[in-house]
């Protein structure tokens, strides 16, 4: 990810109400023109463990809620004939191979 330079960051007088969108403007424009950008999510090393543990917990919670909602009946037993395809709501996140 390219870090914003001093030219990209507006002065405090201009910055009111324009913080996030103004910096992302170059990224959005480049993507709309078809340029590939490599973006990363930078986390401070002291917070990295916390962030990864939180992400792990949220992923586990998401998978459990999917199983309870779509793969189990009211008693908590797995369905004999579960849906073959993932729900339309999660089709972009969960592929058919993973769903099976």
Residues 88, 90, 96, 100: is their CA dihedral positive or negative? negative
Question: According to the per-residue pLDDT averaged within each range, which of 20-24, 50-54, 70-74, 86-90 is highest?
Answer: 50-54
Question: Does the CA dihedral 33-35-36-38 come out positive or negative?
Answer: negative
Domain definitions of the chain by residue range: 1-42, 45-99
SS3 31: helix
DSSP label at residue 100: -
Q: Cα 33 to the chain's mean position, in Å?
A: 23
Pick left, alpha or beta for residue 11 (phi over 0 → left; psi -120 to 50 → alpha; otherwise beta): beta
Rounded Cα gap, residues 82 and 70, in angstroms = 7
Q: What is the pLDDT of residues 11-27, one digit of tens each?
A: 555 444 444 455 677 77
């Amino acid at each position: 990810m390219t870090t914003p330079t001093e030219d990209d960051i507006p002065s405090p007088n201009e910055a009111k109400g324009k913080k996030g969108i103004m910096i992302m403007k170059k990224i959005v424009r480049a993507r709309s023109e078809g340029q590939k950008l490599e973006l990363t999510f930078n986390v401070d090393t002291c917070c990295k463990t916390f962030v990864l543990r939180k992400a792990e917990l949220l992923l586990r919670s998401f998978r459990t809620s999917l199983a309870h909602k779509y793969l189990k009946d009211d008693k908590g037993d797995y369905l004999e004939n579960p849906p073959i395809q993932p729900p339309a709501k999660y089709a972009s996140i969960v592929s058919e191979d993973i769903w099976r």
